[in-house]
Amino acid sequence: GENVEQHPSTLSVQEGDSAVIKCTYSDSASNYFPWYKQELGKRPQLIIDIRSNVGEKKDQRIAVTLNKTAKHFSLHITETQPEDSAVYFCAARVTGNQFYFGTGTSLTVIP
């Protein structure tokens, strides 16, 4: 089955700097890649996603890039703010019903 690896597991940045989280996947049939943000004690919330026919997608300060050849995708957060502090999960979906999640990145934005 699909295997999703996520790095780094923890990340600290100064407010205003950029943060980058990277994920790799193993199954070339994966065609959908969502990113979730989970604040402490709350449910994961979808923040951005990308489909396999797109290389990059941007939504205000958040962007995701996908390299199908290398089988990796990344989350980029620019001009980080303290409220960006949370755990971020990447996921990959192969054609089918299962989502395969990365192990999470705990992002801390230091004021």
Please say which residue, 28 or 45, places its beta carbon nearer to another protein: 45
Tokens matching residue 91:
């996921």
Beta bridge partners of 93: 32, 99
- Before 8, cis peptide (omega within 30)? yes
Residue with tokens 């004021």: 111
10 vs 13: CA distance, rounded Å: 10
Considering only residues 81-100, where is the footprint of another protein by CB under 8 A?
Answer: 89, 93, 95, 97-99
From the list 13, 32, 57, 76, which residue makes contact with another protein (rule: CB under 8 A)?
32
| Phi, psi at 84, each rounded to 5° | -80, -10
Q: Which stretch binds another protein (CB under 8 A): 12-20, 47-55, 61-69, 72-80?
A: 47-55
Phi, psi of 82 (to 5 degrees): -55, -30
Q: Which CB atom, from 34 or from 77, has the smaller least distance to another protein?
A: 34
Comparing CB distances to another protein, the nearer of 81 and 98 is: 98
Query: Is residue 52 involved in binding another protein (CB under 8 A)?
Result: yes
Which spans of this chain sit near another protein (rule: CB under 8 A)?
A: 31-32, 34, 36, 41-46, 49, 51-52, 89, 93, 95, 97-99, 101-104
